[in-house]
């Protein structure tokens, strides 16, 4: 991945040449200033504010009270939180590898130049990315239905009885399918873009040396796009831990299967907007944020170290 700046000349230099002075100046701030300002308002301030919130408790009697780390101890002993976290962890462990695996295979197939109608495949498989999660979930939710949906149609047409995809045992897999459908194309495009900038001469040299396609893939292509693989994995991890839209939109169709604390995010949302427990909700959100960052960071370290 991009490394920031090759070491620039050391700062304390007596008299920098005049041509250089103006670029060391504050001119750049004129351009980046607006971004930093809004960034501070919508990223940094909320983080600071939620740290503040997490240290207090709002009670009917006594009002807003400083409670130290009480909210944190409560969260760490909260079964609802842990089971929600466990659920997204399972989701992460199963859905992300499947999705990224398919995306990678498609990208390699497109890049191999062995397909008829490559451009058509590329754009078509990418298209679901343009479909809002709301629409994707509604579509799939209707299709999952055993009464009116496709599942129902298949059941009556073939006289079989497929399982109810919205039942508690199946709904997580059903959600996984929706998310996979939405993001396979996006990840495929990330991989494909990375593959395209691998110098062709490498393949030619390998072919002359008698390397087969699989060998070229494993020894040249995959190492060459390691950065893209790591980035896509990190984004997918963040996405899984944040899972909210799909279960929350699917919930009206599957009231028995999806509870309001189904995922950590759903839980924070319910705590805050149905339960008015803002302080505790901020605490859970912070803990989730920290867990996400730790996992993402670990993946990045591991991914970058391997071979590098």
Partner 1 sequence: MSTSVTASPAKSAAPRLRTPRKKHTPGKPKRNVLLTVLMALMVLYTVVPLIWLVINSTKTQSGLADSNGLWFAHDFALWDNIRDTFTYHDGIFGRWLLNTLLYVVLGAGGATLLAVLGGYALAKFQFPGKRAIFAVVIGAVAVPATALAVPTFLMFSKMGLTDTPWAVIIPSLVSPFGLYLMWVFAAEAIPTELLEAARMDGASEVRTFFQVALPLLAPGIVTVLLFTTVATWNNYFLPLIMLKDPDWYPLTLGLSAWSSQAQTIGGDVIFNLVITGSLLTILPLIAAFLFLQKYWQSGLSAGSVKE
The residues in 160-179 that bind partner 1, with binding defined as CB under 8 A, are: none
Check residue 26 for interaction with partner 1 (CB under 8 A).
yes
What span, in angstroms and rounded, lies between the C-alpha atoms of 37 and 301?
30
CB of 137 to partner 1, least distance (A): 9
Alpha-carbon distance values, 166 to 142, 159, 240, 249 (Å):
10, 20, 19, 13
Check residue 123 for interaction with partner 1 (CB under 8 A).
yes
User: Which of 10, 12, 35, 274 is close enough to bind partner 1 by CB under 8 A?
Assistant: 35
Q: Which H helix or E strand runs over 122? A: helix 118-126
CB of 69 to partner 1, least distance (A): 18
Check residue 47 for interaction with partner 1 (CB under 8 A).
yes
User: Which of 12, 18, 62, 113 is close enough to bind partner 1 by CB under 8 A?
Assistant: 113
**Between residues 172 and 277, which has the closer beta carbon with respect to partner 1?**
277
CB of 41 to partner 1, least distance (A): 7
Q: 54-73: which residues touch partner 1 (CB under 8 A)?
A: none
**Between residues 35 and 214, which has the closer beta carbon with respect to partner 1?**
35
The answer to whether 84 touches 263, Cβ cutoff 8 Å, is: yes
What span, in angstroms and rounded, lies between the C-alpha atoms of 34 and 30?
8
Check residue 132 for interaction with partner 1 (CB under 8 A).
yes
Check residue 302 for interaction with partner 1 (CB under 8 A).
no
Beta bridge partners of 72: none
61-81 in b/e form (b: 16+ CB < 10 A) is eeeeeebeebbbeebeebebb
Size of the site for partner 1 (CB under 8 A): 119
253 alpha-carbon distance from chain centroid: 25
Six-digit token pair at 266?
């759903």
Check residue 32 for interaction with partner 1 (CB under 8 A).
yes
What span, in angstroms and rounded, lies between the C-alpha atoms of 232 and 188?
9
CB of 294 to partner 1, least distance (A): 10
Six-digit token pair at 199?
């110098």
CB of 68 to partner 1, least distance (A): 19
Check residue 254 for interaction with partner 1 (CB under 8 A).
no
User: Which of 76, 131, 173, 298 is close enough to bind partner 1 by CB under 8 A?
Assistant: 131
**Between residues 82 and 148, which has the closer beta carbon with respect to partner 1?**
148
CB atoms within 10 A of CB 174: 21
Nearest alpha-carbon partner for 293 in 241, 230, 245, 246: 241
Q: 179-238: which residues touch partner 1 (CB under 8 A)?
A: 181, 184-185, 189-190, 193-194, 196-197, 199-200, 203-204, 207-208, 224-228, 231-232, 234, 238
């Amino acid at each position: 991945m991009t490394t920031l700046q090759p070491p620039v000349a050391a700062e304390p230099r007596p008299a920098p040449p005049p041509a250089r002075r103006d670029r060391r100046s504050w001119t750049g701030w004129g351009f980046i200033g607006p971004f930093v300002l809004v960034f501070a308002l919508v990223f940094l301030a909320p983080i600071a504010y939620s740290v503040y919130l997490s240290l207090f408790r709002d009670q009917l009697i006594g009002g807003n009270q400083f409670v130290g780390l009480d909210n944190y101890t409560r969260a760490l002993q909260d079964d609802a939180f842990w089971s929600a976290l466990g659920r997204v962890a399972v989701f992460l462990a199963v859905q992300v590898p499947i999705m990224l695996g398919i995306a990678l295979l498609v990208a390699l197939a497109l890049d191999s130049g062995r397909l008829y109608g490559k451009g058509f495949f590329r754009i078509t498989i990418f298209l679901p990315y343009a479909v809002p999660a709301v629409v994707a979930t509604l579509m799939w939710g209707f299709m999952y239905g055993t009464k009116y949906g496709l599942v129902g149609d298949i059941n009556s047409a073939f006289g079989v009885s497929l399982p109810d995809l919205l039942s508690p045992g199946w709904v997580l897999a059903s959600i996984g399918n929706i998310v996979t459908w939405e993001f396979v194309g996006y990840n495929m495009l990330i991989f494909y873009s990375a593959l395209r900038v691998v110098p062709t001469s490498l393949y030619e040299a390998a072919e002359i040396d008698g390397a087969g396609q699989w060998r070229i893939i494993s020894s040249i292509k995959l190492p060459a796009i390691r950065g893209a693989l790591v980035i896509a994995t990190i984004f997918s991890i963040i996405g899984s831990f944040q899972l909210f839209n799909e279960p929350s939109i699917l919930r009206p169709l599957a009231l028995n299967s999806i509870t309001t604390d189904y995922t950590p995010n759903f839980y924070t949302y319910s705590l805050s907007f149905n339960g008015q427990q803002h302080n505790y909700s901020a605490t859970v959100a912070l803990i989730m944020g920290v867990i996400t960052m730790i996992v993402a960071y670990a993946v990045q370290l591991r991914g970058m170290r391997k071979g590098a």
